[in-house]
Structure formats: C-alpha cells, structure tokens
Amino acid sequence: MYFSKSFIPILKNNPTEAKIKSHQLMLRTGMIKQSSTGIYSWLPLGFKVMKKIEQIVREEQNRVGVQEILMPTIQSSEIWKESGRYDDYGEEMLRIKDRQNREMLYGPTNEELVTEIFRSSVKSYKSLPQLLYHIQWKFRDELRPRFGIMRCREFYMKDAYSFDISDEEALYSYNKFFLSYLNTFKRMDLSAIPMAADTGPIGGNLSHEFIILADTGESKIFTDKRIFEVDSSKTTIDKNSLTKLRENFENYYSVTDEKFNKNEFERNVPEEYRLKTKGIEVGHIFYFGDKYSKPMNASVDYNGKKEFVKMGSYGVGVSRLVGAIIEAKYDDKNEIMKWPMSVSPYDCCIIPIINKNDNSNLEKATNILNILKKHNLDVLIDDTDENISSKIKKFNLLGIPFQIIIGKNFNEQKIEFKEVFKDTLFISLDEIIKTIKNKKSN
Amino acid sequence: MYFSKSFIPILKNNPTEAKIKSHQLMLRTGMIKQSSTGIYSWLPLGFKVMKKIEQIVREEQNRVGVQEILMPTIQSSEIWKESGRYDDYGEEMLRIKDRQNREMLYGPTNEELVTEIFRSSVKSYKSLPQLLYHIQWKFRDELRPRFGIMRCREFYMKDAYSFDISDEEALYSYNKFFLSYLNTFKRMDLSAIPMAADTGPIGGNLSHEFIILADTGESKIFTDKRIFEVDSSKTTIDKNSLTKLRENFENYYSVTDEKFNKNEFERNVPEEYRLKTKGIEVGHIFYFGDKYSKPMNASVDYNGKKEFVKMGSYGVGVSRLVGAIIEAKYDDKNEIMKWPMSVSPYDCCIIPIINKNDNSNLEKATNILNILKKHNLDVLIDDTDENISSKIKKFNLLGIPFQIIIGKNFNEQKIEFKEVFKDTLFISLDEIIKTIKNKKSN
C-alpha cells in the first residue's frame, strides 16, 4: 500500500481533547474518528488492528471447542423482564421504541438472549456441554464517555456462554475459558494476570478479571510478582490439568483494590515480591449457576428429571484491546509506538528519501515492496515527498515494528533496517525477510 | 465436528410461519432463530455460511482497491439534517433518544456519515480517488417484516462509497464496482445480471441492480437471454476495459418491471431470446455526483479552486445473500439443498449407519474424518443413532455438497460417495479427497 493512496489521516499534534495516550495516538494516527459522543468510526489503520485482535480471539475460542453464533444488536425487552434485569439495568441501557411502539433495547450484554436460544433448542442433558460465543457490537449509554474507545458507548466485544448439567461440569467449562484467555492475551504479547473479582451486575459467586499492567490503567492492583512466572504452556484441555492451572495462579495473592486487604497482602507476599501498580481489564469471566436459567426456565431432561442448566459467561473487549495494547506498548515521551507483530496493521514499512525530480529511491523502494509482497508480507511504503525526519517521526507513531530506510547510500547488500526500539542494522533483503518472517511465526 | 456436539437444532417439519423456501429451510435446519419481529440470531450453521459470503465480498472489494473501514451502527441525527434526509426518511428509520435526550438513529445507510469522515480527512484532489467500504449491521424498521432474513429489520450489509474529482473519474470508480460485483456473485455460483435501475431515495441518475434469477423473487424481470453469455473474465482494471464491459452488458435489453416497456422489449429482443421471469436483488450501485457533497460541503482543493467531490455508493446484502442462494439452489419439492462449495458450511459430511451396541461404523467414520481434517477439509460427521433414511433426509436439507456414507458393506477401495444431485460413486478415499479439493479450488 502506498501512503499517498491510503486513508490514514495523520494529525500534526496531539488533539487536546484526548487525555490518555491510547486516545491521543489513535486520533493522531487516524485509526479512529469520533462520529458522536462516545461513538467512533474505525478508519483503515485502526480497523486492521481490531480485525487481527478479533481473529486471535476467535481462533482461541474455537481451539477450546466454543461454537460461534451471532446474536443481533437490538433485543426485545421481554426476555429482560423475565430475568428481572430490565428495571435493574438503569440508564446505561439504551432503550428504544420501534414504530409499533414495542419496547426494544440495544443489547449491553447477552445472558438473556442466549438463554432464550438455548432453552428453545436443547432438550436433553446429552447435548451438554454447550459452549457458544459471538463477537458483536454492544452499547452502554455511559453518562460520561471518555478516554476514546476505552470507555465509549458503542464497543465491540466477544462474549461467550456455557451451559452444563452440574457445578462440576460447569467449572470445567469455566476453566477452559480461563486457559483460552491466557493464550489469547499471550498471542498479543500482553501479560494478563487473572485476578479474583467481584461479580457485579452479572451475578454469581466465582469470577476472574484478566488485567494487563499499564501506568494509566483505571484499576489499582496488588499482586505477587511470582504470578508472572506461572506457566500455562503445558496445560491441556482436561479437568485435572485445568484445575492445576487455576491452583497455580491462585497460589499467589493478586487482587484489584475492590478486594484489597493490606494485612492479607503483607502476610501472604514477601516484601521483595510485592507489586502495587495499575492495570486495565481486558477480559472477565463469571460463573453464576442457575441465576438466569431458573427465572427463564432453561432446563434439560436428566433421566426424567428437570434440571436447570448451570451457566457462565465470558467476555473479552475486542475494541478495548486496541487501546489497552497502546497503553501497554506506547512510549509517549519519545512518541514511539511498536505494535505486537500479531496485531500490527502492517508487517513492515519502507521509507525512501524522495528528493524533488528524483524518483530513483522510490523505484528502489517499489522493487523491494514487490519482493516482500511475494513473501506475503503486508507493507506500507511512504511515497510522499516529506523530508526524512518527519517521515521517521510519522512512522514511529504508526508503530509498524520493522522499518526499511532507503537513503542516499543505498547498498543492496547492506540495506538500512530497523526493528523499533532496537539498533539499526545494515543487512541484505534476504536477511530482512527472514527476520520479519521469524517474528511473524512466533 | 460431531453432530451430537454441534448446535444445529433441526426441526422435524417446515414451520408454518415461513412462506418462502429460504425462510423454511433456514428455520428447519437451525441456521437462524427469530429473536423478535424481523430480528434474527444466527446459529452456527447459518453463521458459517454468512461469514464465507462476507469474506468473498471483502476479498473482491480489496481486489479492486477499496479500503475497509467500519462505521458505527448508532449515528447522530445532525448529519442527516445537514443532508436533508432526516425528515424524508420516514418511519423506516429507527430513531432513538439517548440518556441526554440527544436525537440518535440506527443507521439504515451511510452516505452522510462517510461524507462527514471524508470531508474532515481529505483536503486535496491529490488524495483522490478514495474508495471506502464497510460491512456492518443496519436497521430498517419495516412495517411488515417477512420472508425471514430476506426482508427483516436488522440486516448485514457491505456498503462502499467512492469520492472522485470529476464525473469521468467517478464513472471509472463506478465501473470498478460493476466488475467487482460480477466477480463476487460468480464466486458464489450465482448468475447475477446487472440491470439499469431506478435510484430511489439514494438519488442520482445512474444505477444498476444486480439480480439473480429465482422463481420466488420479488422483482419481475425482462431480459435478453444472451446477456448470460457476456464474458467479464478478461476485463482488467483500466478505463477502456471497464467501459467496454459496461457496453457489452448494455447491448442487451434487461430491466425490472419498474422500467419495463413492452414495445421496447419486443423491438430489441428477438422472440427466441426473450426471458420473462422473477429475480432477487443482491446488489445495487448508484452514482449521484454531488448530491451529498454539496449540502454537506465535502470539497477538495483543485489547483486553488474548491471542488465538491463526486460520489457513488455500492451495496451488497450480505445476510440477504444467504437467503438468495437458498432461493436459487434449493429444490424444495424433493427437499434437497446444495450449497455452492465456496459458501458451504462444511466441505463434506460423513454419514455412518450406527446400530445399537455396534460402534464399528462410527470408528471407520472417525478415521476418515481425521484423514480429511489433515487435508484441511471441514467435515460434519453424524454420530447419532437415527436410522439411515432419516439421516439422509436430514443431510439433504443441510446441503453440504459431498456425502460419504458408511454402511454394512464398507470397502476401503470403494467407499460410497455422493455429490448432491449427482449419481452415487464407489471410489477410494484418495479419489474422494481429490474430488472435493478440486471443487474447492474452482
């Protein structure tokens, strides 16, 4: 892709309305554009990142055997009256009257709707467990939307739901999601810590938040540093292995300020391992038994007896992760961003120095572009006639992890090549391709 | 995937509320489930088909150089007041008041929003053309939603918008979409005819509908049969080649009843080539110049002069195509469906005869499943203990194009293998794999 043909409207300066660095960077690099309060359009650069995140989330759901469906954005109020949440939900729920004056709403979450789908489709315990997820837009009419897409009104989320015959089986499902979330965030190069959490309006008595460390995070966290060493790579999808994984994490004290207890923290965590910092919630899982299945009469036949199914729900903020990754990875002092390779909008950029009336560097750049394309690498090439220092400044903000710079003393065997935050190398194109591909396959 | 673990809630009979065959089949095979009037959830089988359609649409947009963005579902009324359509649109527009009492709406289309994005981002004619598309949920509050997802309220659409400096350049953009749509529908094994069309509420003076033939279609069409022979396979993305393609189609009379003129039809089409039938609209493209750019002041600097950009818009009904394909491909008399390979929910199914207390056929089936998986084929295996005739009946409805049947006289070299609507073969697994892969790569 040529920069001059792309739709990446860069701003010269940080927009004053943006208070946190992800919001600043996303506006500045034209990833998003606000369309109304707390509602954003995703422009090509932001869209590409979000789609890559979505695909990782999807693959990791599929890997633990969750089936994808898609529920609509607009729901009827009836099922919410059945569960008892229609009145509870308050003004954050966007309530709508259609032309027939029926009470509708824009789904803020989907426990009710998925329970309705389940109860009308599944009759026997033999069809259990059922694990279903969808990735869909949601709406919460926040009183004060802020921080760009981190606390907006229309947002993109994966939510999953599990249906089981017993508490024991339901915990097995819960633990599958626990592992799946660890793997999901790891693929985005994020260290997400699972923390025991309150259940809030979803309800239930077992819940974990997955939190990534970021100075600008909205949650205070208190944790034992050793939790970062817990290894989930050998965990397999069976009850024992998953239970063990949960135990390994729960060995270490790790809570948000809601659950913080100073005495407990100091009693359980040796001073050298204590970490007090801030974090951002990127996932949240809940087990709530028959909280919805009972009022909504979602039961199965279990050897002639009617059993209410045991349910859990499991959310990942897909659009929110775009911002969370920036909060974790963007060095805003030096204005340098580096996307994790797995979600980067492009694999590599090519930055030629272009002087007026001299296209030779652009030609060299185009030749390299064509070779990289043949290796299935997605490349952005800067064909504008800006000077090199503003080009570098711009690409440092764009955060593409690899830069090829084509200047005066171009030498095919010693091409100027830089991985962001690392030293410049002078290597051949073959070595460049090897380096990028190696990073991609990690 | 094992049928017993899948979430495919099959109905025994056609639901009485469904009046057309796509609606019947989609409910019957558990592809969708109505959640409220004119609003549906997509269950795994339907979801898989829709996603494959979406991906084909996406690839063909990318191929002609359109960039993907994503606009939100909820819009502010302000931009609709600027364009003058807020009052015109009537009750089909779902109007919403948020908690601050601001007038919002669920986007029925996006000319206004994309114009707003364009005008705030692009300043110079040098950045033109800009071709942008998105694939998003839309809402039209139909007075009488019916025919399942064919005429529903919440639906999934690709819409694209072009921005050019002149009429001539804008026609070039228009023609790119013209070609792209032909290729899109061809990949779904649909013969879509482009027909000169009225522009309706979108406005403008040039428009084509893409219509596929189906007895149950809502549009009457009058066409010259020779239009099916027009070859677009050699058309390239340049002005001359695309203009020639348009001309080749426009040589033949082809209109819907809105534009039908009996005398013209009989004068232009020799009797042997006249075709009067019904069709379903699956795509619609419009050129409308400065209809939106002028009132919304979307202009670029053109050598010191302010020029309003010339715009077009281009829609494909992604969710609607699921139904349209069924209307075109489902033999409802014999209750046999066959999905085009490119959008089929599975590549192949395995149907073992399973007798009580005898799992040997299921084991054989599982062995074959594992081999097919290694060849990246997506397979549904019927592990239920239904009798073989109800299994076959069920799979004829599911419409997976290839069936492997494992019965009493299983012979590894002569496996019972059937492509739907064709004769049963007895061939080796290697030959089966070759046949399926061959069909997939077409």
> pLDDT of B59-93, one tens digit each?
999 999 999 999 999 999 999 999 999 998 899 99
C-alpha of A282 from chain center: 6
Position B279 pLDDT exceeds 90: yes
**Nearest residue, CB atoms, A96 vs list B42, B92, B96:** B96
Residue B97: burial class (beta carbons within 10 Å; 0-12, 13-18, 19+): middle
Q: What is the mean pLDDT of residues B403-412?
A: 92
* Residue A108 sits at the chain B interface (C-beta within 8 Å): no
The answer to whether the CB atoms of B75 and A141 lie below 8 A apart is: no
Q: How far is B27 from chain A (nearest CA, A)?
A: 12
The pLDDT score that the predictor gives to residue A201 is 64
The pLDDT score that the predictor gives to residue A259 is 85
Residue owning tokens 């962001």:
A420
Q: What is the mean pLDDT of residues B276-297?
A: 95
Q: How far is B116 from chain A (nearest CA, A)?
A: 8
Helix H, strand E, coil C: the string for chain A is: CEHHHCCCCCCCCCCCCCCCHHHHHHHHCCCEEEEECCEEEECHHHHHHHHHHHHHHHHHHHHCCCEECECCCEEECHHHHHHCHHHHCHHHCEEEECCCCCEEEECCCCHHHHHHHHHHHCCEHHHCCEEEEEEEEEECCCCCCECHHHECCEEEEEEEEEEECCHHHHHHHHHHHHHHHHHHHHHCCCCEEEEECCCHHHCCCEEEEEEEECCCCCEEEEEEHHHHHCCCCCCCCCHHHHHHHHHHHHCCCEEEHHHCCHHHHHHHCCHHHEEEEEEEEEEEEEEEECCCCCCCCCEEEECCEEEECEEEEEEEEHHHHHHHHHHHHCECCCCECCCCHHHCCCCEEEEECCECCECHHHHHHHHHHHHHHHCCCCEEECCCCCCHHHHHHHHHHHCCCEEEEECCCCCCCCEEEEECCCCEEEECHHHHHHHHHHHHHC
Q: How many residues does chain B have?
A: 442
Interface test with A, best of B29, B50, B52, B74 (most A CBs within 10 A): B74
pLDDT confidence bin for B437, thresholds 50/70/90:
very high
* Residue A102 sits at the chain B interface (C-beta within 8 Å): yes
Cβ B372 vs Cβ B433: under 8 Å:
yes
> pLDDT of B412-429, one tens digit each?
999 999 999 999 999 999
Q: How far is A141 from chain B (nearest CA, A)?
A: 7
C-alpha B24/C-alpha A397 separation (Å) is 52
CB pairs under 8 A between A and B: 151
pLDDT confidence bin for B391, thresholds 50/70/90:
very high
Q: 10 Å Cβ neighbour count for A305? A: 9
The answer to whether the CB atoms of A139 and B74 lie below 8 A apart is: yes
B297-321 burial, b for 16+ CB within 10 Å, e for fewer? ebbbeeeeeebbbbbbbbbbbbbbb
Residue A234: burial class (beta carbons within 10 Å; 0-12, 13-18, 19+): exposed
Q: How far is B152 from chain A (nearest CA, A)?
A: 12
Residue B146: burial class (beta carbons within 10 Å; 0-12, 13-18, 19+): middle
Q: pLDDT > 70: what percent of chain B?
A: 99
The pLDDT score that the predictor gives to residue B356 is 82
The answer to whether the CB atoms of A74 and B106 lie below 8 A apart is: yes
Contacts with A115 (C-beta within 8 Å, 6 or more apart), sequence order: A79, A83, A161, A292, A293, A296, A298, A311
The pLDDT score that the predictor gives to residue A203 is 66
Longest Cα separation, chain B: 85
Q: What is the mean pLDDT of residues B303-329?
A: 97
Q: Which pair of tokens denotes residue A26?
A: 């996303």
Contacts of A425-434 with CB under 8 Å at 24 or more apart are: A429/A368, A429/A371, A432/A348, A432/A402, A432/A404, A433/A371, A433/A372, A433/A375, A433/A377
Angle at B23 between CA B20 and CA B24, to 5 degrees: 80
Q: How far is A407 from chain B (nearest CA, A)?
A: 25
**Nearest residue, CB atoms, A68 vs list B44, B98, B143:** B44
- Show which of residues 36-65 on chain B sit within 8 Å of chain A, judged by CB atoms: 36-37, 39-44, 47-48, 50, 65
**Nearest residue, CB atoms, B75 vs list A35, A100, A116:** A35
In one-letter notation, the amino acid at residue A259 is K
> pLDDT of B1-52, one tens digit each?
999 999 999 999 999 989 999 999 999 999 999 999 999 999 999 999 999 9
Chain B residues closer than 8 Å to A154 by CB: 72-74
> pLDDT of B325-364, one tens digit each?
999 999 999 999 999 999 999 999 999 999 888 889 999 9
- In 3D space, the residue among B62, B64, B60 whose CA is nearest the CA of residue B236 turns out to be B64
* Residue A89 sits at the chain B interface (C-beta within 8 Å): no
Q: What is the mean pLDDT of residues B256-270?
A: 92
Q: Is the peptide bond before A270 cis (omega within 30 degrees of 0)?
A: no
Cβ B287 vs Cβ B202: under 8 Å:
no
pLDDT by 10-residue block (mean), chain A, 442 residues: 94 91 97 97 98 98 97 97 92 95 97 97 93 98 93 97 97 98 97 84 80 87 94 95 96 89 94 95 95 96 95 98 97 97 98 89 96 97 94 97 94 95 97 97 83
Query: Is the dihedral angle over the CA atoms B13, B17, B19, B21 positive or is it negative?
Result: negative
- Show which of residues 67-86 on chain A sit within 8 Å of chain B, judged by CB atoms: 67-76, 78
| Partner residues linked to B380 by β-bridges | B349
